[in-house]
Structure 1
Amino acid sequence: MRKIYLLLLISSAFCLNACKKGPQQTAENTYKEWPVVLETGTAVPLEGNAFITQPVNGGTEQIVAGGLYKWNNAGSVISTYFKLGQPGKLNLAIQASVVTGSSTIKVSVDGKSFNITLKGATATVYPVASIDVAAAGYVKVDLQGLSKEGSTFAEVSNIMIGGSATTSGLKYASVSTDNQFYWSRRGPSVHLNYTAPAGNIEWLYNEVTVPQGQDNIGSYYMSNGFNGGYFGMQVKSATERWMLFSVWDADNGDKTVLTSKGAGVTDGNFGGEGTGGQSYMVYKWITGNTYKFLTQIKPDGNGNTLYSSWFFAPELNAWKFMATFKRPSTSTYVGGINSFLENFAVENGYMGRKALYNNMWVRNTSGVWTEISTAKFTTDPTGATEQRMDFKGGVENGQFFLQNGAFFNDFVADNTSLSRTPTGQQPTVNLSTLPLN
């Protein structure tokens, strides 16, 4: 944790009065009116831990390198999150500067609100309050503008915290190198790494259900993951959803090529986290409905491997063909079977998402179906290094599940082994009649 010295602690008499006020009452204070003492504290940077949780049309505020900038709209709410390891006293301040004149803002935490006056273009630590926190877990600090003399309320770099509640088990996004603040704001990705039977596996089948209210924009519910690619469904915007099937380029750099695709499927290439061929279908999948995902992987006998995928749309009672890709310089069957859940919209990293994964089966080259009922739950470096702790996976009502975001407290440890009761419901799909267009 980064440690700095800050002027923070308020008098016990004021704290006693402030703590008695209801959630809608405020304490009017300016920096010079606070009795203070010198204390070692922690700076929680907005750059890696804050979100505009209530954006407003016309608002220009944004979280960028250095913190909150261009904060102009009084209706906007900016929220910063950190996790306390124990109950106790929480001393709170903000580090901010005002470009022009003075501003008054509202700082809200734990159901209490405090109005603070800011002034001066030099970054200054402004004490806010000292409150008693009853339990360990995530704390949310909200900022909202009340009045300003200039065009913006303030530029805010850090939420400053101290007190007994912060002395043990404090967690927040603290690593800024290698673009980690970006990944921390996206939130921890979570995975199910399945235990597959021995032998050459040609077909991979899985079922995914997204519960109602767990379909926030930026969510990718990946069902059929394998060495070389993945297949699942996404929320692209408030009005658009995708089925997405992608295959990476060969390890030696040779390009994956599309050999065929289904009706209504768009194909192209992807970059960023590797490169490869991509196909997607704009399809308005529905929360609460269960979607079946089927992938075939087999060598073509000429030093390449063919990857094909379909999904079953319950609304249409039909299988839909996505695409077939040829990956050169590769000769393989299904391997590295996994599912994952991630957020790809960084500004929505504070929102939650969840998916249920059930009834996974594989079929070998001899035509034998085998159910997969064990997996290992893992998270990415954002979770594994405890930059974010809102991740979990497990078994719910006999189904595997993955969940992340929303800053919940009951996380599940990385590398946890999971097992569900087998369903015994072998896929009924007729592989010989699957559509190819």
Structure 2
Amino acid sequence: MFDLRIQRPTRVLGQLALSLGLLALASVAASVQAASSSPAATVAKAPAPVVSPVGNAFFTRFGDNDGAWMDYDSRTLRDWSDPSTVISSWVRVAQPGKLSVALKASLPQGGASTLRLSVNGKSVPIKLSAVPGPVASLASFDIAQAGYVRIDLQGVSRTGPEFAVVSGLELGGTAAPGLVYANDAENYYWSRRGPSVHLGFTTPANTEYFYSELTVPTGEDTLGSYFMTNGFNEGYMGVQVNGPNERWVLFSVWDPAVGSTTLLRKGPDVITNGFGGEGTGGQSHLVFPWVAGNTYKFITRARPDGQGATDYSAWFFAPELGQWRFIATWHRPNTNTWLKGAYSFLENFYDENGFAGRRALYGQQWAVSSTGVWTELNKARFTVDATGAAKQRMDFAGGLDASGKFYLRNGGFFNETVPANQNFTRPLTGMQPQVQLNTLP
């Protein structure tokens, strides 16, 4: 058992000015003597990486009676009291080697706790006590290969109301150089959600309809996922996992710079409202129990009304229904355009579930011109959002699947990152969809 003697905090809990870890891992920069013919000089060592729980950790198991939470203001894990709760962090190492792990935390005066620290499944017990004294090492672990490493913390016993207030994990050792983890404190919310990935398509001039197909493989439909299929410059359409027992078909159109998007028509059982947050606009959704493993079809339409506005419509086809369902038509003023900027994306909108992965296959894509000409789209550009581009998270991929379909993947801390900003081409099928656009409901 490792005995970590935690120094008492000198201020309130929000002020965690502690140095907890190996002396070799101390966050205070050390200096070393330089060997040269010139007078002795000192060179400051780079501080050891400190992995914040707020940006990098998740409750992968949550006790029924726990009140634990991530405090964004103090950037700490607080009120952690249930021994069944597991807090998991992921970091990506650039090479195999030794990974030293020290805990930055505080306990109330006189408190004592025992924790279990695990790295890639190998566990050691840690004893914490809030008494003055030198800081001891936690543990060092062998990392066999480059890639993501999982670090788990679980409470075993405590004398106080909580196991500890945790402000971070201090990492070192030969596996630590080049470490990738979320270190942009202003964007911890986005790093917790994980990287969003996109496929961009080029449509011919005067495209009126965009048709696409989506298959979510079994087991990849995790909570908080948005599988967006039919995006365009002014809006988007796709399916979401909104809750354990609720799923949506969603179609939204942004407001223009001047004026507001308004509803013209909606289909049966479709719910409509405005939306805010990341912009404003009109939103419509159909609660529908779509199923992973099935293939669904989507059509969006953009048609100028000849009076300085454009009407946007959407339809959804489920094999369970055997027919097209009309979602809605939205009227966007001060907009005169056919459908442009066709794209698809995959994102997680539930940050507490940001450790879970998801994957989607994007099958056929077709554009239909205002004169009724169908064109198969078989070229896509794969991109990633700022979270991935800044290497806050590297669990993203996209491109061409072995089945000949485009795919997108994110979350789950997998190692097979696909570099973004690449173009991919799938084989042409030549199988024009059998749908009569002029008879759509």
TM value normalised by structure 2: 0.89
* Contact kept? 1:63, 1:69, Cα under 8 Å: yes
* Contact kept? 2:301, 2:312, Cα under 8 Å: yes
Q: Which one of 425, 428, 435 corresponds to residue 422 of structure 1?
A: 428
Whether 1:64 aligns to 2:37 is no
Residues 1:151 and 1:121: Cα distance change in structure 2 (over 3 Å): farther
In structure 2, the residue matched to 1:362 is 367
In structure 1, the residue matched to 2:195 is 188
Q: Which one of 200, 218, 222 corresponds to residue 206 of structure 2?
A: 200
Deviation of 1:235 (Å): 0.2
- Supply the distance in 2 between the matched residues of 1:36 and 1:330 (Cα, whole angstroms): 62
- Supply the distance in 2 between the matched residues of 1:202 and 1:235 (Cα, whole angstroms): 29
Deviation of 1:195 (Å): 2.3
Deviation of 1:111 (Å): 2.5
- Supply the distance in 1 between the matched residues of 2:316 and 2:294 (Cα, whole angstroms): 13
- Kindly report structure 1 stretches of 4+ aligned residues shifted beyond 3 Å: 32-37, 121-126
In structure 2, the residue matched to 1:19 is none
* Contact kept? 2:5, 2:128, Cα under 8 Å: no
Task: String of CA shifts for 1:52-107, please: whole Å, max 9, x gaps.
Answer: 00112121111222121110100010001110001111111110111351111100
Whether 1:274 aligns to 2:279 is yes
Greater mean alpha carbon deviation, residues 312-321 or residues 29-38: 29-38
User: SS in structure 2 opposite 1:383?
Assistant: helix
Deviation of 1:121 (Å): 8.7
Which residue identity lines up with residue 51 of structure 2 in the other structure?
A: V
Percent identity, please.
Answer: 50
Which residue identity lines up with residue 210 of structure 1 in the other structure?
A: V
- Supply the distance in 1 between the matched residues of 2:131 and 2:106 (Cα, whole angstroms): 5
Residues 1:305 and 1:30: Cα distance change in structure 2 (over 3 Å): same
- Supply the distance in 1 between the matched residues of 2:106 and 2:227 (Cα, whole angstroms): 41
Whether 1:165 aligns to 2:138 is no
Whether 1:92 aligns to 2:125 is no
Which residue identity lines up with residue 413 of structure 1 in the other structure?
A: P
In structure 2, the residue matched to 1:38 is 24
Greater mean alpha carbon deviation, residues 96-105 or residues 297-306: 96-105
- Supply the distance in 2 between the matched residues of 1:110 and 1:402 (Cα, whole angstroms): 26
Deviation of 1:234 (Å): 0.1
Whether 1:83 aligns to 2:92 is yes
* Contact kept? 1:95, 1:123, Cα under 8 Å: no
Deviation of 1:31 (Å): 2.5
Whether 1:143 aligns to 2:153 is yes
Task: String of CA shifts for 1:147-195, please: whole Å, max 9, x gaps.
Answer: 000111111111110011111x310000112xx0000000000000112
Task: String of CA shifts for 1:337-394, please: whole Å, max 9, x gaps.
Answer: 1000000000000000111001100000111000000111000000000000000001
Residues 1:429 and 1:125: Cα distance change in structure 2 (over 3 Å): farther
Which residue identity lines up with residue 97 of structure 1 in the other structure?
A: S
In structure 2, the residue matched to 1:394 is 399
Deviation of 1:228 (Å): 0.5
What pairs with 1:211-226 in structure 2 (closer than 5 Å)?
Answer: 211-226=217-232
User: SS in structure 2 opposite 1:185?
Assistant: helix
Which residue identity lines up with residue 143 of structure 1 in the other structure?
A: L
User: SS in structure 1 opposite 2:155?
Assistant: strand
What pairs with 1:1-400 in structure 2 (closer than 5 Å)?
Answer: 28-31=1-4, 37-39=23-25, 40-65=47-72, 66-99=75-108, 101-120=111-130, 127-167=137-177, 169-177=178-186, 180-197=187-204, 199-252=205-258, 254-396=259-401, 397-400=403-406
Superposed CA RMSD in Å reads 1.8
- Supply the distance in 1 between the matched residues of 2:218 and 2:381 (Cα, whole angstroms): 26
Residues 1:147 and 1:227: Cα distance change in structure 2 (over 3 Å): same
Deviation of 1:35 (Å): 11
In structure 1, the residue matched to 2:34 is none
Residues 1:63 and 1:123: Cα distance change in structure 2 (over 3 Å): farther
The count of corresponding residues between Structure 1 and Structure 2 is 403
- Supply the distance in 2 between the matched residues of 1:185 and 1:123 (Cα, whole angstroms): 35
Task: String of CA shifts for 1:306-333, please: whole Å, max 9, x gaps.
Answer: 0000000110101000000000010100
In structure 1, stretches of 5+ residues that fail to align are 1-27
- Supply the distance in 1 between the matched residues of 2:136 and 2:189 (Cα, whole angstroms): 27
Which residue identity lines up with residue 154 of structure 1 in the other structure?
A: A
User: SS in structure 2 opposite 1:41?
Assistant: coil
* Contact kept? 2:97, 2:174, Cα under 8 Å: yes
Residues 1:122 and 1:328: Cα distance change in structure 2 (over 3 Å): farther
Deviation of 1:303 (Å): 0.8
User: SS in structure 1 opposite 2:175?
Assistant: helix
* Contact kept? 2:117, 2:154, Cα under 8 Å: yes
Q: Which one of 406, 414, 429 corresponds to residue 408 of structure 1?
A: 414
Task: String of CA shifts for 1:114-170, please: whole Å, max 9, x gaps.
Answer: 111112299996632112211000011100000000111111111110011111x31
- Supply the distance in 2 between the matched residues of 1:122 and 1:341 (Cα, whole angstroms): 50
User: SS in structure 2 opposite 1:38?
Assistant: helix
